[in-house]
Structure 1
């Protein structure tokens, strides 16, 4: 027997040897055509570095699932010279037999990983295990998940007459069997029927087999299968490279799919634990393993769909939908089962473990499903109802909508009628009291009462006192769905009995979206993900979006463009109603409507919470500080925040006093305010509050204004100029100055220009605040290299300040200083020096010798002296400024860092390169820490360190830093900014000098 033949069969590869068998799950991997184990699972490292086997290496799949047994199934994938397609599928029986022999009576869950043609073998094995009388049904019921890796369910996407030729030839090359290809072509319909059968079994109620399909996204070079790599590379063209198994062939409709950045042969080979492809596959396997117990529990009392080997017709043995009523069993659920329900397996397993009447024989347990409107509470409860019916045929299920008093009483009356409660038909019957008494009688048997949409506090605990009419029986269980945490807590009386519904996982959301759309509507995977991001994986929003796309036949890309084009379009789409047989009739299903119902309830019983929600809809949705909210009594504020959290409109970040609000909730609220005519009023309130709390930005209060900045910016974006109050202008200036300090000059200019226009309109052209705006705008223009306009504005500001405030007013002295700086930037050194000496003299007189503004004048005078070649005096000035700034402002203040940079510059001018380099590096390190890596001043330091290295003829290091500075300055400041052009010129000169030096040395 050859080594290859000895390896065939089922072989455990982890754990190896006589390791103790305490495994909790089995994983079985099946290879594809033209290969064998372990080669097919191995990634070859560089020459001599060995291989990575992701199935057996301890830091790969075994690390993710240490309690798993991992097997490979090897079959003869190379002998198809004369074999028909049925022989390929015949390996299914061998696989089932080996599994059954190896497991005995074991019921441990199984996950299959099937690569390429191995997936066809596995699909056929599932078909055969489901046949009537099959001895392998236990294997089917133990299978908790399958991963298909590029399995060709539809062959290749080549021309029809060559669909299998391209695929088999691309895999096996010269060893490709003409007979196999011919037979697959002739029996393509046979293969397709077997896959269709597999899909039916996987979808059957009693099986519901979780599976994921992975497809390749990189082309295979076909010439490599018949030529040497060298010749294949030479002759390769676009027409000779193909995706062997495309997404449409590798994926089954209605099941999750995921692309891997790999060619066909790389779909089952991963270079290490950090490989992105491996992480995707590993996470999918882990998810299946985590859901295993829930899947097995669901199947415990069900039998699989089976088929007659002779006819292939589908039927069921005690099919779940045909379970006969027990003697005391009643069923009142107003909706059919939602066949498009996806995911939530872990949640449902937890829920069913709690709410079955048999879960607690000493009490009538109460459980609440809680979450934001549209998160899927009703659909989860509906799926739970059907699973209870299947799992416990003797358990009655009663559904009561709590949307209003009439709906509640009508549902109770229907229960009473089915239970044949005496007196229930009388005109003035106490329906709720009679039904409560009937269900409290244990002779009725086991029951689950589902109270859906229990959101109205008045209905539950007000005059109608619905809560007083909930029954108690040790054979009963009550399940409540609510979006109101406070109400849910009052109903179930314990936090431990509340199960919050989180947003769907991306995997579940994508599956839900795919259920309602055609493949060509979801062809752009990036648009699919972006749309689900926008919809926050919210089930109702996904259902509404997919209904609209299905109706209009547009793609996810087009729908996403509609959503993001404007808030008006977004709210219009969110307000579109749609048909859904699994939701209440005569009630709009639109997402926006669902949320506004909750808001009306909040408005009714907690006005402060409603005000806070109005306020928050004008802010950035993430990280909203508690301190931004309008002040109120502490107790009322706590209760209002609690109300918004209870309804799921906001969430609190762990360990912080900040909150997040759903973006779609914000848009819905803004639309509601506009319809009510309240938007302008609330815009003014929000801007006034922000102006009151937003401080003038300084280095010392940086943390505070940085926290408020995104919210002020967002509110100002919503402001449309209707509110020209002083508060709005103050906020514009504070936000503009914040952007200036962050080096975001374009945003700063936009804000300050708006503020200047409003100051002129509200206060007049000569008001001190208007003059301050002129000065600030001119300073921002200087930072952008717009020197002429800046000089003009500084001269205008200086003239008006001297007139209005006087020649020695501190603001006038600021104008003198700033005009001197812009003159220096333009090379007007003599006039600049004169202005700086005048400004320094006056500031020392008016403000004192250690005032920060005085120190700025010393620094600026040193800069203009350096520009004129007066290096000794310049160095003296900069050393003085640095010493005083360290003393007065601290060693990490941005002004202190400016002094370090400027002193280094004058040292460089004198040829003191080592000391200059040391200081420039110090400035760079501190600027990166204090200002950030892309702040314009940090980029100046990068440029200056590069120049220092150049001066020392360290050309390679200099070139690297100058290129970095140029790239970042182009990105941050623009290609035409003077600073960018200076860096570009420095780099050119450095490269030229390096080249000349090299020529000279040679």
Structure 2
């Protein structure tokens, strides 16, 4: 039944007047059967696994004698597909086996019709005399009969998801008005909507919030029915369960598909990972399930679509928030990234609705949320069906991100880093935006954030997309375009190839000289970058000459203490050091460091860069103790400011290790080298030049300690990274 049909039923249904009297209530016959009544529509699930702690808790709460002073009400709540119905079903069988005199009744509350049909069956079991009358108020008759019964009974109301059916503010009578009350009775609800618990006024301690299975339970469930050849390696099984978030319905769906097709777990996982389209296709597959209502569909995607439609009907702001979150990263979604509302109360209600369905989880600090991974994917699929609406929506999302995310600077890098995963996720849909300049701005903000995190390759790739968009839209002479090109030069100083870098720099210098003049800061930026490109290619004399020229121009144009001037001083110092002119290099390096400390402070990245330059100058002169001291001081600051995994921090660890080695302090050098190599292999990969250089260094350190067997693992190679220290064997 779709939403429109459902509204038609609920808004036009009228209840006949009750005819309750001495002849219409439950009057059990004298020859009552020994077996208690049982209206559960499903057989026992022989493949049911796990959830024992939940079942133990339930069996303490739901028996009619669990509370002698009240009619016990218990709720199992949780995300659609988490296994609420299956647990209620298993609990029903266990109650029947343990309490032989307890009637067990089952009512699907999918809508008013399923509720009333189940009540009619109960009435027939109870032999209520007027239950078949055309004008009988079936719900009231059954409520009265159960309320007056002297027998123990358990009433299970499954899929009580629609809060409008149980609320007190509906035009029609609420279904909660027809729940029986009897000290010998107990009612168990299953719901994906915690708001229903509030409507029913169920005590908080009687609500069991069901989450995904643990790893052992999920593994056992997935393995049911699979052949040994389908199992494959344990890593594939573990990875698939992680991918499916240990969600029972998703596991059941995957298992059913693999049993049907004979597909191995590793192949199914590969198919899931290949694309979101393939995954949503698998999540939409129907499968046979005996514990399913005839009118229901069981794919996980369909299950959640029902909830999406209900939210869309009842709380449009909530579904708007869900749509927004679906195109952001799934973890740590800041509250302020969501569209603003003029009414804060509406915001709380919308967020509350999403939490009540289990689609999002509020983080402890209360200003951010996590979204279920598969829910996010299904919502994306729901949104992408209408291309026109998707374009409008993605453009709106990008505009919101542009407002919320400040232009990244070193001073706000931590704030921007928090937004970065969400910008990157949104940019996966950038082709759908209607505003290309907006798209370029988000790309550039993401690129700058990546740069400050030391992810230079990713920053370069993203910034180049922004450059291409700006050049295409505004031309290469537009000031905004050049701002982005300038940033390309900054990235190139960290992650550029010398020849490519030189070509870009020469093009910038030529262009800016023509447009703004030879001494404009933008032109000098290109010349400065060109000097760095010479350094990268080992053309140290050309680098020195260019750096001197730019330094003099910048002193005259911008002043001796301007950050750009200090950049040129730094470059000149590095070039002099490479030429072996250590005295002049050290003098320039010390002057640069002091000015950086004065202008920017000890924790500024450029100050740290100047400290590193001095440590290499000390090392080049054989002043290993001073190089060690500078490296230790630098590393402490870098780990605090940039993080232990930042490329600059790793480079300083290498310098520290090699300085210790040169002082014959092999144990200390080995300790630092091992720590460094572990970090580099994690961050950069085992084949990265810097990781190979560190492996080479560790091998040499072990050789010096006559530990040749251990050295076999690290075969010396000529290090291609950290080239300033490749002479360690001399």
TM over 0.5: yes
The verdict on how the C-alpha distance between 1:809 and 1:693 changes in structure 2, with shifts beyond 3 A counting, is farther
Deviations 1:494-523 (A, max 9, x none): 322211012111111112122232233224
Q: Which residue of 2 aligns with 1:596?
A: 305
Q: Which residue of 1 aligns with 2:495?
A: 784
Measured after TM superposition, the shift of residue 572 of structure 1 is: 0.7
Distance 1:524 1:975 in 2: 29
> Any idea what the Cα deviations from partners look like across 1:680-710, whole Å, max 9, x if unmatched?
3333222332233223332221221221122
Pairing of 1:487-502 with structure 2 (within 5 A): 487-502=196-211
The alpha carbon displacement at 1:917 in A equals 2.5
Answer yes or no: is 1:437 the counterpart of 2:144: yes
SS in 2 for 1:700: helix
Picking from 867, 874, 877, the partner of 2:585 is 874
Q: Indicate which of 684, 688, 693 corresponds to 1:972.
A: 684
2:69 to 355, 362, 367: 362
CA contact (8 A) 2:689 2:721 kept: no
- Which residue of 319, 326, 349 corresponds with 1:617? 326
Q: Could you tell me which of 386, 409, 419 is aligned with 2:116?
A: 409
8 Å Cα contact 1:517-1:549 kept in structure 2: yes
Displacement after TM superposition at 1:728 (Å): 1.3
Evaluate the alpha carbon distance shift between residue 515 and residue 958 of structure 1 in structure 2; reply closer, same or farther with a 3 A threshold.
closer
**Contact 1:829-1:868 at 8 Å conserved across structures:** yes
Cα distance change, pair 441–325 in 1 and its aligned pair in 2 (3 A): closer
> Where does structure 2 lack aligned partners over 5 or more consecutive residues?
1-30, 694-718
The answer on 1:460 being equivalent to 2:166 is yes
Q: Distance in 1 between matches of 2:34 and 2:680?
A: 81
SS at match of 2:411: coil
CA 1:489–1:808 in structure 2 vs 1: closer, same or farther (change >3 Å)?
farther
Please state whether the residue corresponding to 1:490 is helix, strand or coil: helix
Q: What is the aligned partner in structure 1 of residue 373 from structure 2?
A: 663
d(CA) in 1 for partners of 2:53, 2:673: 55
Q: Secondary structure at the match of 2:154?
A: strand
Q: TM-score, normalised by structure 2?
A: 0.85
Structure having the larger proportion of residues in helix:
2
Correspondence for 1:653: 363
Q: Which whole-Å CA distance do the structure 1 matches of 2:691 and 2:506 have between them?
A: 22
Matched, 1:384 2:98: no
2:157 counterpart (448, 451, 454): 451
State the shift of 1:467 in Å.
Answer: 1.6
Following superposition, the deviation at residue 907 of structure 1 comes to 3.2
- CA-CA distance at 1:650 after TM superposition: 0.8
Shift of 1:406: 0.9
The alignment status of 1:400 with 2:400, answered yes or no, reads no
* Partner of residue 714, structure 2: none
Higher relative strand content: 1
Point out the more displaced range, 623-632 or 725-734. Answer: 623-632
Residues in 1 aligned to 2:663 and 2:100: alpha-carbon distance in whole angstroms: 88
Residue of structure 1 equivalent to 2:269: 560
Per the alignment, in what secondary structure is the counterpart of residue 796 of structure 1? helix
Structure exhibiting the larger radius of gyration computed from Cα positions: 1
Deviates more, 1:863-872 or 1:379-388: 863-872
Deviations 1:35-61 (A, max 9, x none): xxxxxxxxxxxxxxxxxxxxxxxxxxx
Q: What's 2:629 paired with?
A: 918
Q: Contact conserved, 1:917 with 1:949, CA < 8 A, in 2?
A: yes
Match of 1:990 in 2: 728
Distance 2:181 2:591 in 1: 84
Shift of 1:821: 2.1
Please list the CA deviations of residues 411-460 of structure 1 after superposition, one character each: whole Å capped at 9, or x if unmatched: 111112222223221212222122222222144x2211111101112222
Q: TM-score under structure 1 normalisation?
A: 0.63
CA distance in 2, matches of 1:644, 1:964: 44
Q: Would the aligned equivalents of 2:443 and 2:463 in 1 still touch at CA under 8 Å?
A: yes
Give, in whole Å, the separation in 2 of the partners of 1:949 and 1:536: 47
Q: 1:812 to 1:335 in 2, by over 3 A?
A: same
What are the within-5 Å matches in structure 2 for residues 256-655 of structure 1?
329-443=36-150, 445-461=151-167, 462-464=170-172, 465-632=174-341, 633-655=343-365
Cα distance between partner residues in 2 of 1:800 and 1:953: 53
Distance 1:884 1:568, change over 3 A: same
Tell me how many residue pairs correspond in the alignment.
668
Aligned positions of 1:63-82 closer than 5 A: none
Aligned CA RMSD, in angstroms, stands at: 2.8
Q: Find the aligned partners of 1:583 and 1:710 in 2 and give their Cα distance.
A: 39
Q: Quickly say closer, same or farther: Cα 1:886–1:415, change in 2 above 3 A.
A: same
Contact 2:456 2:491 in 1 (8 A): yes
Shift of 1:568: 0.9
Q: Identify if the C-alpha distance between structure 1 residues 968 and 429 changes in structure 2 by more than 3 Å, giving closer, same or farther.
A: closer
1:785–1:978 Cα contact (<8 Å) kept: no
Q: Give structure 1 stretches of 5+ with no counterpart.
A: 1-323, 994-1002
**Mapped partners of 1:758, 1:785: distance in 2:** 21
Question: How far off is 1:882 after superposition?
Answer: 1.6
SS of equivalent to 1:651: strand
Is 2:218–2:251's contact at 8 Å kept on the other side of the alignment? Answer: yes
Match of 1:774, SS state, is helix
Partner of 2:382: 672
Query: Which is further off, 759-768 or 623-632?
Result: 623-632
Q: Residues of 2 paired with 1:882 and 1:950: CA distance?
A: 26
2:574 corresponds, among 863, 869, 892, to 863
- 8 A Cα contact 1:749 1:777, kept in partner: yes
Report the CA distance shift for 1:975/1:409 in structure 2 as closer, same or farther (over 3 A). Answer: closer
Which shifted more, 607-616 or 700-709? 700-709
